[in-house]
Amino acid sequence: MATVETTYLGDLRTEAIHLQSQSRLITDAPVDNQGKGEAFSPTDLLAASLTSCMLTIMGIAAKNHGIALGKIEASTTKIMQANPRKVAEIQIVLNFSADASFSVHDRRILQQAAETCPVYLSLHPDIVKNLTFNWPS
């Protein structure tokens, strides 16, 4: 059974429907590739998917190890390569809540969780994954 059904709407735009939840997602080609840039591009979703996956798996690891994770804000930057056109690098900065506290052991668990999430492991090894963990002081 399919997970997502996607329709090309024309004008370099698609609509994807997550079948279980009926959530809808629009993609648009980016401005630098003949699009309008009015929605996530497919490669934006790739980068966002990595960040979301990392945060989710870190949340599971925190729950399983009794770590109070708190709020994390992440900033994701996708860097494209021109020829052939593809994602060359994804930079993710993870900012942990200033009032959180993590031991060295907790930090290792969380970082390993992030670096072994399914999306991270599924990306081609040529894609540079540059992660910055800004732990609270």
65 with 128, same domain: the answer is yes
Q: Determine the structural domain holding residue 28 and report its residue range.
A: 4-33
46-96 confidence digits (pLDDT tens): 999 999 999 999 999 999 999 999 999 999 999 999 999 999 999 999 999
103 with 129, same domain: the answer is yes
Separation CA 115–CA 58 (nearest Å)? 9
CA 130 to chain centre: 12
| pTM, full prediction | 0.94
Residue 31 has pLDDT above 90, yes or no: yes
Please state the domain count of the chain.
2
Separation CA 120–CA 117 (nearest Å)? 5
Check residue 137 and give its pLDDT: 86
Sequence-separated (6 or more) residues with CB below 8 Å from residue 98: 136, 137
Domain holding 114: CATH number?
A: 3.30.300.20
Percent over 70 (pLDDT), the chain: 100
29 with 53, same domain: the answer is no
28 with 47, same domain: the answer is no
Buried b (16+ CB within 10 A) or exposed e, 34-48: ebeeebbbebbbbbb
17 with 51, same domain: the answer is no
59 with 125, same domain: the answer is yes
93 with 125, same domain: the answer is yes
17 with 77, same domain: the answer is no
50 with 20, same domain: the answer is no
121 with 58, same domain: the answer is yes
68 with 98, same domain: the answer is yes
